[in-house]
Chain A
Amino acid sequence: MNLKDLDWKPLALVPVLALLVLPFVGSPSTWVTLTVAGLAMGMIIFIIASGLTLVFGLMDVLNFGHGVFIALGAFVATSVLGAMGDYTGSASLWRNLLAVLPAMVVAMLVAAAVGLAFERFIVRPVYGNHLKQILITMGGMIIGEELIKVIWGPQQIPLPLPEGMRGSLYFGDAAVEKYRLIAVVVGAIVFGVLLWTLARTKIGLLIRAGVQDREMVESLGYRIRVLFVGVFVVGSALAGLGGVMWGLYQQNVVPQMGAQVNVLIFMVLIIGGLGSTTGALVGALLVGLMANYTGFLVPKAALFSNILLMMAILLWRPQGVYALAK
Chain B
Amino acid sequence: MLSRLLSNDYPRSRVLAVILVLLFVALALTPFLIPGVKALNVAAKILVFFVLVASFDLLLGYTGIVSFAHTMFFGIGAYGVAIASTRMGPGWSALALGTVAALALSFVLALAIGLFSLRVRAIFFSMITLAFAAAFQTLASQLSDITGGEDGLTFKMPELLSPSYQFSETPLFGVSLDGRLLCYYLLFVLCIVLFLAMLRVVNSPFGRVLQAIRENEFRAEAIGYRVVVYRTVSSVLSALFATLAGAMLAIWLRYNGPDTTLSFEVMLDVLLIVVIGGMGTIYGAAIGSALFVVAQSYLQDLLRLASDAVAGLPWLAALLSPDRWLLWLGVLFVLSVYYFPSGVVGRLRELQLPRSARPRAARPAQTT
Contact = CB atoms under 8 A, between A and B. Distances in A.
Direct contact of A and B (CB under 8 A): yes
Interface string B267-284: 010011001000100000
Interface string B328-346: 0111111001100100000
Interface of A: 62, 121-122, 125-126, 130-132, 134-136, 138-143, 145-147, 149-150, 154, 215, 263, 266-267, 270, 274, 303-304, 306-307, 310-311, 314-315, 318-320
Contact of A150 (B119, B318, B334): B318
22 contacts: A130-B123, A134-B66, A135-B333, A135-B337, A136-B338, A140-B330, A142-B330, A143-B327, A143-B330, A143-B331, A146-B330, A149-B324, A150-B324, A154-B323, A263-B134, A304-B135, A306-B131, A307-B135, A314-B124, A314-B128, A318-B119, A318-B120
A132 B134 contact: no
Contacts of B330: 139-143, 146
B154 interface: no
B292 to A, nearest CB: 13
A282 B366 CA distance: 34
A150 B337 contact: no
Contact of B334 (A62, A143, A319): A143
Nearest to A122: B334
Contacts of A136: 333-334, 337-338
Given A131-B66, A135-B272, A138-B268, A125 B338 contact: yes
B132 interface: yes
Given A138-B271, A314-B128, A131 B60 contact: yes
Given A130-B66, A142-B333, A303-B135, A150 B338 contact: no
A62 B66 CA distance: 13
Give the size category of B's interface with A: 35 or more
B7 interface: no
A304 B122 CA distance: 22
A130 B338 CA distance: 14
Given A150-B318, A150-B324, A318-B124, 6 more contacts: A134-B126, A143-B327, A143-B330, A147-B327, A267-B127, A307-B132
Contacts of A310: 128, 131
A142 B271 contact: no
A67 to B, nearest CB: 12
Interface in B109-131: 119-124, 126-128, 130-131
Contacts of A311: 128
B333 A139 contact: yes
B210 to A, nearest CB: 16
B363 interface: yes
